[in-house]
Amino acid sequence: MSFRICFFRPLERMVESDYLIVGLGNPGENYLNTRHNVGFIVVDELARRWGGDFSTGKWQAFFLRTSLNGRRVHLLKPTTYMNLSGQVVVRYADFYRIPARNILVIHDDLDMAPGRLKLVNGGGAGGHNGIRSLIQYLSSSDFSRLKIGIGRPGKGGIHPDMAVERFVLSPMTDDERRLLDERMDVIEQGVRLYFEKGPAWAMNLVNSVK
């Protein structure tokens, strides 16, 4: 009787997917401090705090790759203008094999008061053209969104005579920018929690800010 000795290789360690943080906005100096560019502003500040420099290239975007809490994290600012943001994000995510569930999008929200923060998982576009573009090109709404309130004109005494289109593309007031700057510590802590412990933990922190 003969015996056959079999050697089994240990299972290979699963490699965790990269993560992608997308800031939504419009390129160019005319849009630098506008309400619709809140996503750009926040991602710029995260890059500054994490000691990274953006590059430009084939992606039609400013992009940065870094390590955060042991995970590889990408920061991306599409430069195709808001309505076509999804074209850039889908190409970038496909190249680096980043699934929609590992994408966090930071953007402005008209229906929340200035300075209000809300982190959600999935959902519809809510009237936001940048989010609509991402859903269209990713063929998925299974990504997280960090919404930052800018207020809606005509509500709560905010510019009652200003059209929405003009309002979102107008510069923030000094008070609005100061409020956003004050929120940055919580935003960064929330993003770190998002990677360390998952969206639920981050929501508990971020969504408590009114």
Positions marked catalytic: 36
CA distance 192 to 176: 24
How far apart (Å, rounded) are the C-alpha atoms in residues 78 and 25?
Answer: 8
Give CA–CA dist 40/27, Å, rounded.
9
Query: What is the spatial distance between Cα 179 and Cα 162, in angstroms, rounded to a whole number?
Result: 21
Round to the nearest angstrom and report the end-to-end CA distance of the chain. Answer: 76
**Spacing of C-alpha 123 from chain mean position:** 15
Beta strands across the sheet bearing 55-56: 55-56, 61-68, 71-78, 19-23, 103-109, 144-149, 117-121
